Structures are given as structure tokens and as C-alpha cells.
Amino acid sequence: MKNATFLERYLSQTLSTEEQVIEFPVSLEHTVWDGKNTRDAAITAVMKCISVVFDEPTTDDATLLLTVMSELTGQELSCEHLSHRMHMQPYIVLHMLGAVELAGIWRHLKCFNREDEIVNDKSKGYLVDVGLACQMFAISNPVAIVEHRSWGALFETFVVNRLAQQLPDDTHIFYWRTAHGSAEVDVVLQRGKVLYPIEIKSAVHVSVSNARKIEIFTRYYEADYQIAPGLVIYTGNRYYAMENGVFAVPAAMI
């Protein structure tokens, strides 16, 4: 698999154990921020989507929904928050989010649970265009992005989108949390009976403690599944094998 992508090597469980230093061709901040002005086109697209709810949707309606979607990117969806911010019943907002997801503006990850089912009342949402989220937050330059209160969510959105865009047809993407939220893993890939746990950290260094959630996840599922080596994808530039079969992976590698 000489020319295989990192994700292809990960799914085939042929990751190198050799330590490497990996750099973005341009800075991570520039890559995440993007700089393309997609706001107006996104508002027009959202107006078309929400016409399933509003007879005559306005620019304000679309802008508010995009603002809420930006606030929620990388977060578990809260019907209460959606209802409060949009001033309407939660089921109506969920209907609109479904419409924008079908249009390719939004994606959500369902929660993977113990019985290999999907937990219907929990999911995490992501804007497909992380640069659009930056525009909705009025982040005017890449230098400001790492100082923004939502940097962690924006970085997670960036990573999830990169992974989702590369997934082969036989691989599914979820997140995972325990019933009471005492532990969670940002991304779980499933390929048949193999699970691939991935943590995402918007920090330049990782430590063994960052892999503990993956260890908890492994204990939950190792009796019923093969658990691939976990990943901690982060903002630094050093790829290396950590303890307990977990790899620290620079975002530039994906």
C-alpha cells in the first residue's frame, strides 16, 4: 500500500510505528480557516432548504439557522437549545436540519452503543464547510482562529469532515458516549466487526491521559469486536506510537 492514504493504511491496520514529523504545506490555521467567502451562497442554499418549513423564508431565517448550526458544530444536539435559539418547536428545527443535511450543508454522527445499535435520541452535528463556520463567527483571519472560544469545536469539525470525505462505502462513522456521559470518544469508525476509536484534541501536545477514553472504549467492546489501535489526532506535527497501542497523529496526515 505504498501510495495509500493514511486512512486507508489505518483501516487496513498497517500503520507505521516509525516516528515522523509531519507539516502542513500551509499552516493548520490557514487550512481550517479557508478564507473562501461561501456565506452568501450558503444563505441562499439554506433559504431553499427551509422552504419545507416556511412558505416565504427570509435571509434572516437562513442566517439565524446558519448561526445556530455554527454554534452547534462539534456538539451533541440539544433540542432545548435548538428550540430556544430558533424560537420554534424542536421538531420543526430538526426538520430543517434534516433538509440542510440532505443538501450537503450539514452532517450528523449518531451514537454507537453497546448493542451495535444507533441511539436515536443522541447525535452530534457538524457543518460540512468549517470555513463557513468561521465566517458566521466573524473570524476574519487565520491568526484569530486558535484564540476563538470555539477553536476546539472548529478543529473537530475540520477533522471529522476530512475523515468522512475519505470513508470507503463499507465503513461507517459514529461517535460514542456512555449512557451517563462519564466517558466518550469523538469518532468511532466501524468496518464489519472491527472498531477504530479516534480522539480529536485541539492542542499541540498529547499525553497518555488523552488516550484514557480510548482505553475505556476498548474495555467496553473488546469481547465482541476487534479493536484497532486508537488515534489521537491533534494540532502538533509529531507522529508517534504512544502507550497501550494508541498513536498520536498530526492533523496534516489526514
pLDDT 10s digits, 200-230: 999 999 988 888 999 999 999 999 999 999 9
pLDDT for 42-69, tens place per residue? 999 999 999 988 888 899 999 999 999 9
pLDDT value at 160 more than 80? yes
Return the pLDDT at 179. 77
pLDDT value at 119 more than 50? no
The label of the residue with cell 515522523 reads: 20
pTM, to two decimals: 0.94
Return the pLDDT at 116. 46
pLDDT value at 115 more than 70? no
Confidence bin at 163 (pLDDT 50/70/90): very high
What are the sequence ranges of the domains in the chain?
6-253
